[in-house]
């Protein structure tokens, strides 16, 4: 009987992780990124098809996409479209 309760307790605790916590930076579709930011990113990395973005705490943007070969590419831009980093 004790083993059964221990199993039930452990099974219940297994679902109590941080799974339901919201992401600190929610992912956004590229359509929600301002046009000027998208144009700056595409000008700096031609041939990359950006598909996701994150709004940075400083007001800038982090965009992620794939090039023609399928290689993942990223770029970070300021709120006015200046390139901050190409990791």
Q: What is the pLDDT, as a whole number, of residue 87?
A: 78
Domains present along the chain, CATH in parentheses: 22-85 (3.10.450)
| Predicted structure pTM score | 0.70
Residue 79 in contact with residue 59, Cβ under 8 Å?
yes
Q: What is the pLDDT, as a whole number, of residue 86?
A: 87
Residue 53 in contact with residue 64, Cβ under 8 Å?
yes
Mean pLDDT, to the nearest integer, of 58-84?
Answer: 94
Query: Cα-Cα-Cα-Cα dihedral of 38, 60, 30, 44, to 10°?
Result: 30
H runs (alpha helix) in the chain: 2-14, 35-44
For 11-42, what is each residue's pLDDT tens digit?
555 555 544 444 567 889 999 999 999 999 99
**Per-residue pLDDT at 49 exceeds 70:** yes
Spell out the residues 6+ positions from residue 83 whose beta carbon is closer than 8 angstroms to its own: 40, 44, 75, 76, 77
């Amino acid at each position: 009987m004790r083993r059964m309760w221990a199993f039930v307790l452990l099974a219940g605790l297994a679902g109590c992780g941080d799974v339901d916590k919201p992401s600190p930076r929610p992912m956004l579709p590229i359509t929600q990124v301002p046009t000027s930011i998208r144009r700056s990113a595409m000008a700096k990395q031609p041939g990359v098809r950006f598909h996701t973005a994150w709004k940075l705490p400083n007001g800038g943007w982090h965009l992620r996409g794939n090039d023609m070969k399928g290689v993942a590419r990223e770029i970070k831009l300021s709120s006015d479209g200046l390139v901050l980093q190409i990791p």
